[in-house]
Amino acid sequence: MTEPVTHISFDLIGAAIILLALLLAATGLVLLTSWYWKRRRARPSTFMVEQLEALLDNLPLGLLLTDREGQVLWCNPEACQLLSLDRASPRLDEGLVSLVKRVAESRQSELHELQLAADVRLQLRAMPLDGPSPPDDEVMCMVTDVSGRRHQEEFYRSFIQNISHELLTPLAAIAGHVANIKECSIEEVESWRYSQDTIEREVRRLTGLTSNLLLLSRLESGVPLRLESTNIGVVVEEAVAGLLRVAQAKGIELSIQSPPRLPRTRADRHRIKQVFINLLDNAVKYCPEGSEVQVRLETDGESIIVEVADDGPGIPPEDLPHIFEKMYRVEKESTRAVEGSGLGLSIVKRIVELHGGRIAVESTVGKGTTFRVKLPLAEASPS
């Protein structure tokens, strides 16, 4: 009697075990599948987070995230560097903490400028970010270094001012003398001639300024050089010959000292001649009557060195670091009266550097000035 019961119960237990095993297997499969899909879904998002982190870490823009109390939650290396923060435990100074609190409170973005040193200026934009509830609100700050931009803006402002001044002065003189010519009677020959000479001089000055500006802009926009094997000695002779008449008129002695044979360089003849014309023109322009201007050529085996030396008024030490800047002129009694736009030496420097060379200047007030141009020899110069 008991056997069938045992059999039935065995069948029941067996079925229950099988059912349980099937249930466990199904649950396991579901768990495994969901784990697998989670992994599959998680993998790209982890990858994306890593990519995003790498991007933020290398961004040339400072970024930092704070809570509403100004505690830094995260910051990228650029922000740490700009604000001198320790990335392991970054802390904002009082001023920035109160800016963050203000932004979190008002829910309004704010732009703030920080002058860290005489030449370091930062711009900081703080923006509120909504959290799930107000205590979780965060503030994102973007930090940019605007020192360079400010410098550039100031440079262009003063450049435009100088250009306008340099254009308006001759234009005003021309306008005045044109009016004078119109009013002159035919008998007033002297006055008429004077106005005509002035107009001619001012037109020459305007033309010089415009062509220098054009040349500088061409050089800066990367117009290619026409490099060819060049005998710098010949180029210097041509430049000296071009200035001889003006020098003689002022009683200035122009001379060249050069070894009989000099190695050749690769240069754009036309451009490099402009270098020596500008240096010689300055020497003749700024030196008083009876001065001496020497051009000395030599080689050190790697470069050709050309010195243009005069015994003129010299350049004050405080002006020396600036004379190659665009439109910089020395405000000195002895040189202010001399016509010029302050572009000649910027052109010289640009051309020399385009040839892979260097220019230096030495000067003593009352004793004279020497410009030293170093140009690489043919094998070493850029092709």
User: Rule CB under 6 A: which residues touch ligand ADP?
Assistant: 282-283, 286, 310, 312-313, 315, 323, 328-330, 335, 340-345, 369
CB of 76 to ligand ADP, least distance (A): 43
- CA distances to 2, 23, 122, 218, 231 from 11, rounded to whole Å, are 14, 18, 82, 99, 112
CB of 253 to ligand ADP, least distance (A): 15
Contacts 24+ apart (CB under 8 A), 191-196: none
Q: Looking at beta carbons only, is 81 or 210 nearer to ligand ADP?
A: 210
Query: Is residue 137 classed as helix, strand or coil in its secondary structure?
Result: coil
Residue carrying structure tokens 């019961």 = 5
Q: Looking at beta carbons only, is 109 or 161 nearer to ligand ADP?
A: 161
Q: How far is the C-alpha of 297 from the C-alpha of 49, rounded, in Å?
A: 63
Q: How far is the C-alpha of 131 from the C-alpha of 225, rounded, in Å?
A: 60
Q: Looking at beta carbons only, is 342 or 376 nearer to ligand ADP?
A: 342
CB of 313 to ligand ADP, least distance (A): 5
Q: Looking at beta carbons only, is 90 or 312 nearer to ligand ADP?
A: 312
Token pair, residue 368, equals 């004279």
Q: Looking at beta carbons only, is 266 or 374 nearer to ligand ADP?
A: 374
CB of 288 to ligand ADP, least distance (A): 11
CB of 235 to ligand ADP, least distance (A): 19
What number of other Cβ atoms are within 10 A of residue 242's Cβ? 14
Q: How far is the C-alpha of 129 from the C-alpha of 96, rounded, in Å?
A: 17
Residue 320 contacts residue 314 (beta carbons within 8 Å): no
CB of 282 to ligand ADP, least distance (A): 4
Q: Looking at beta carbons only, is 71 or 370 nearer to ligand ADP?
A: 370
Token pair, residue 333, equals 């009694």
